[in-house]
């Protein structure tokens, strides 16, 4: 049973999780940690009662620690936690967009300690960032992918899945490798497409005023934080390249349709794309 949750990182996702726990799990003792006081002050104004800039105070009595920071920062935080609490039974999870890397790096750091790690990835987000952008319903109806590469006990996996379901998520288990290749297709590759669409479509500033809803919809996520997305795309480089190569092949096929005036093949391609879009 989870009695105390520590969330490390008061950004969009960490902050939204904190708001959701506050609303849906009032019996749980929650603390939100951040390096800076400013986003924590925002969190308190939004209803998160316990915050701290002291990592050890934030995690010392936690049953579940949620790493809601970039993967590179996770390594530093986990190293500090292991150093101070090597014998404390504590479940770590993350909410990062890739899974092979954190399993590899965090697994190595906690080896020999009482800490355990299960990966999590709620498929929810926004092009906006920061605690100011957080909102309580961000997770509603989303799927949270759970990865258990270290074969942590079934009891703890079920406990973590129940936690996410209590916050409004559906849950699905995957291997870290399957996760990264799937998410490359449905999250990371679309971000590439949105960025290409914005770069090519808006190559001339004076045509921006011509854009309608279609351009806004297809390029929305290109408005995300370039630093964050550079890290995500580079961390999942091999899986992402596979999707990009497939897209290049499709673009060549469509170019061929245009060059040959092949309306039938173009129609068939667009029809199949429409069917696939209807899956969501």
The alpha carbon of residue 75 and the mean position of all alpha carbons in its chain are separated, in whole angstroms, by: 17
Token output for 124: 């929810």
> Over pLDDT 70: what percentage of the chain?
100
| Topology classification of domain 179-277 | 6-phosphogluconate dehydrogenase C-terminal fold (1.10.3660)
- Indicate if the pLDDT at residue 117 is higher than 90: yes
Distance CA 4, CA 51 (A): 13
Check the CA dihedral 208-212-213-214 and report its sign. Answer: negative
Averaged pLDDT score across all residues of the chain: 95
Q: What is the pLDDT of residues 225-258, one digit of tens each?
A: 899 899 999 999 999 999 999 999 999 999 999 9
Distance CA 233, CA 35 (A): 25
Q: Is 4-174's fold the same as 179-277's?
A: no
- Indicate if the pLDDT at residue 129 is higher than 90: no
What pLDDT is attached to residue 203? 92
Domain 4-174 class in CATH:
alpha beta
Distance CA 211, CA 10 (A): 34
Q: Domain coordinates of the chain in residue numbers?
A: 4-174, 179-277
- Indicate if the pLDDT at residue 128 is higher than 90: no
Characterize the bridge pairing of strands 115-117 and 29-33: unpaired
Q: pLDDT band at 205, cuts 50/70/90?
A: confident
What pLDDT is attached to residue 71? 83
Burial of residue 29 (number of CB atoms within 10 Å: 0-12, 13-18, 19+) = middle
Q: pLDDT band at 113, cuts 50/70/90?
A: very high
Comparing CA positions, the residue from 100, 117, 11, 14 lying closest to residue 64 is 117
């Amino acid at each position: 049973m989870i009695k105390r949750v520590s969330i490390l990182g008061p950004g969009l996702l960490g902050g939204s999780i904190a708001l959701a726990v506050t609303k849906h799990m009032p019996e749980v003792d929650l603390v939100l940690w951040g390096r800076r006081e400013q986003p924590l002050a925002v969190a308190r104004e939004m209803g998160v009662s316990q915050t701290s800039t002291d990592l050890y105070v934030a995690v010392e009595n936690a049953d579940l620690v949620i790493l809601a920071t970039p993967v590179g920062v996770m390594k530093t935080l986990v190293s500090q936690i292991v150093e101070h609490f090597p014998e404390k039974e504590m479940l770590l999870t993350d909410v990062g967009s890739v899974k092979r890397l954190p399993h590899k790096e965090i697994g190595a750091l906690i080896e020999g300690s009482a800490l355990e790690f299960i990966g999590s990835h709620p498929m929810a987000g926004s092009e906006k960032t920061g605690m100011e952008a957080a909102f309580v319903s961000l997770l509603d109806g989303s799927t949270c992918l759970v990865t258990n590469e270290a074969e942590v006990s079934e009891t703890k996996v079920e406990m973590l899945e129940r936690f996410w379901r209590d916050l409004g998520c559906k849950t699905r288990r995957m291997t870290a490798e399957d996760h990264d290749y799937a998410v490359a297709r449905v999250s990371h590759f679309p971000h590439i497409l949105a960025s290409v669409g914005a770069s090519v479509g808006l190559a001339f500033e004076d045509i921006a005023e011509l854009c309608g809803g279609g351009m806004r919809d297809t390029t929305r996520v290109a408005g995300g934080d370039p630093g964050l997305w550079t890290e995500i795309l580079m961390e999942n480089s091999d899986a992402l390249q596979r999707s990009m190569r497939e897209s290049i092949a499709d673009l060549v096929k469509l170019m061929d349709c245009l060059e040959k005036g092949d309306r039938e093949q173009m129609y068939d391609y667009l029809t199949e794309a429409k069917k696939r879009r209807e899956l969501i």
